[in-house]
Structure 1
Amino acid sequence: MLAAAEIQDHLMSVTNDLERLQRLLDDAGEALSVNFFGASGEIQSLAQRVSQGQPLSPGEFAQALQYVAGAVTALQFQDMSTQLIAHTSQRLRACADKLAREAFGTDDEDGEALVIEAPNRPNPVTQDEVDAGSVELF
């Protein structure tokens, strides 16, 4: 009975991790789209002005650079999502091993069954969305 409760806890944690990952992916996809299209529009506007012979000041590149910075921040979700996927996979493997041990026993002709333990940390990523300055890389 205790093993079933522990497995249920791990599976609920995995579900929460996957929901967090979905939010990260949704937020990052939106941010990438907004920032790439924004940067593209700004650069096209600046290029058109240059082609018309209009001088540009260094400050006029600020908005395009801000969009590029936003896109880079959105790309950092890859690190967080990779960590979350690895962590979730480890939890699932631990649950599968526990189920196998409970169902089939711990020993067979090859020796004692190897059981991967679930991670001690509840989750490797604390962010639910990607905002400028909010990304912690490990």
Structure 2
Amino acid sequence: METKNLPLTEFQCLLDDLSIHSANHLIEAEADLMQTSFLLGEAIERLTTSFMQINYAIQSQHDAFEKLMQDQAVPTNNIQKFTEFRDQINTEINAVVTGLQFQDLTSQLLARTMKRLNGLRDVLSGLSSEDEHQPTESDHDAVATLLKKVNESLSLRSSALQAGMRQQVTQKHMGSGDIELF
């Protein structure tokens, strides 16, 4: 009975290429996440500054109205209406600024995702063989042993990655109110 040779060389090339291409794509994904994080931070900073300036302008406008009304002897109930409007606007602006603080949460989620991508790249790098003692294509037992080693390596690296990843951000939406940042 004739035994067939296993295409071990081709299989190893496949694993090497998978490792290399996966690593390259993961590096690009990390770069995209870093750019997203930077742009998000910059946008939120600008929005927060703008809302604070709006709040300051409204407060200044209210102060000017209040002085004008006092100088013109406007009835108290009219002054009270303007005060209520100002207070409502202040409350809304403060709510917006608080909402913009989700940058902390998103930054942590992005950092966690980048850590996971790094770990995945490390896991996939285990597919690439640097072992000088490659079995021959006709040595089925040695090939099976090699595949078992690759599988065990992937499992160990994946388990190590999972162990290093704990749930960092428990808040599911902005209104939930339970924030666990670290």
**Residue of structure 2 in register with 1:77 after alignment:** 103
Q: Secondary structure at the match of 2:128?
A: helix
Pair 1:98 & 2:124 matched: yes
Which is helix-richer, 1 or 2?
A: 2
Q: 1:45 to 1:104 in 2, by over 3 A?
A: farther
Percent identity of equivalent pairs:
6
Tell me the C-alpha RMSD between the 2 structures: 3.6
Q: 1:9 to 1:51 in 2, by over 3 A?
A: same
- TM-score normalised according to structure 1 size: 0.63
Alignment of 1:53-68 (within 5 A): 54=70, 55-57=79-81, 58-68=84-94
Structure 2: runs of 5+ lacking an equivalent:
1-16, 71-78, 132-145, 163-171, 177-182
Q: Could you tell me whether the CA contact under 8 Å between 2:59 and 2:86 is conserved in 1?
A: no
**Residue of structure 1 in register with 2:46 after alignment:** 30
* Equivalent-residue separation in structure 1 for 2:19 and 2:96 (angstroms): 45
Alignment of 1:1-138 (within 5 A): 1-46=17-62, 54=70, 55-57=79-81, 58-99=84-125, 102=128, 114-116=156-158, 136-137=173-174
Letter in 1 for 2:157: V
Q: Could you tell me whether the CA contact under 8 Å between 1:31 and 1:70 is conserved in 2?
A: no
Measured after TM superposition, the shift of residue 136 of structure 1 is 4.8
Measured after TM superposition, the shift of residue 34 of structure 1 is 1.1
Measured after TM superposition, the shift of residue 68 of structure 1 is 1.6
- TM-score normalised according to structure 2 size: 0.51
Measured after TM superposition, the shift of residue 49 of structure 1 is 5.8
Aligned length: 120
Q: 1:89 to 1:51 in 2, by over 3 A?
A: farther
Structure 1: runs of 5+ lacking an equivalent:
120-134
Measured after TM superposition, the shift of residue 73 of structure 1 is 2.1
Q: Secondary structure at the match of 1:62?
A: helix
Letter in 2 for 1:62: Q
* Equivalent-residue separation in structure 1 for 2:130 and 2:55 (angstroms): 58
Measured after TM superposition, the shift of residue 33 of structure 1 is 1.0
Quick check: 83-92 or 67-76, which moved more? Answer: 67-76
